[in-house]
Amino acid sequence: MAEHRSMQRAALLDAARSLLSEGGTEALTFPALAERTGLARSSVYEYFRSRAAVVEELCEVDFPVWAADVAAAMERASSAEGKVEAYVRQQLALVGDRRHRAVVAISASELDAGAREKIRAAHGELVAMVVEALGEMGHGQPRLAAMLLQGVVDAAVRRIELGAAEDPAAITDAAVAMALRGVKG
């Protein structure tokens, strides 16, 4: 029975990911979740008390996976510059991924304080991964530089998501160049 419940919970989270990546947070409704999973709407409420609860759980499940991908890419780099480049490239490589699209949609939405705090903490962990590399590159304020660098990454993510005129690879290269030249400045 517990295994069945965890499968249904996983199916609900997967449906939530799809809805978020297709239509943003407005698309994430309990009727839509019920329809996607074939569950009764009342059953959806047995798993989650609110949309915010769905979002919170998605953050708890997906953000660590995403952060681990970025961390692994950084670990493969041999220099501090290589780590910064990997930090930018790996986040932008994940843009098409449904998990990432869901996280982006979530970040853009109006959430309750608990969910927002979880996102902030997860983002903080992501930014913390690059602080050390920036310090190694001799940056005087590596924490500030890391926050600004994440702003560049977030802007590039939005540009790719919008299907901007530039090719995603060109956006990625521009973000990397800005990161590497900008942090040296």
Place of tokens 């903490």: 121
Is this model's pTM higher than 0.85 or not? no
Euclidean distance between CA atoms 48 and 61, whole angstroms: 15
Domains of the chain plus CATH, in order, are 1-48 (1.10.10.60), 51-183 (1.10.357.10)
What confidence tens digit (pLDDT) does each residue in 89-102 have? 998 988 877 666 66
DSSP track, 10-27 = HHHHHHHHHHHHHHHHHH
What confidence tens digit (pLDDT) does each residue in 42-86 have? 999 999 998 888 888 887 888 888 888 999 999 999 999 999 999
Euclidean distance between CA atoms 134 and 129, whole angstroms: 10
List the one residue out of 115, 130, 87, 101 whose CA is nearest residue 24.
101
CB-based burial label for 74 (10 Å; 0-12, 13-18, 19+) = buried
What token pair was written down for 114?
């608990």
* Residue bearing the bigger pLDDT, 25 or 137: 137
What confidence tens digit (pLDDT) does each residue in 137-176 have? 998 999 999 999 988 998 898 888 777 678 889 999 999 9
Mean pLDDT on 129-136:
92
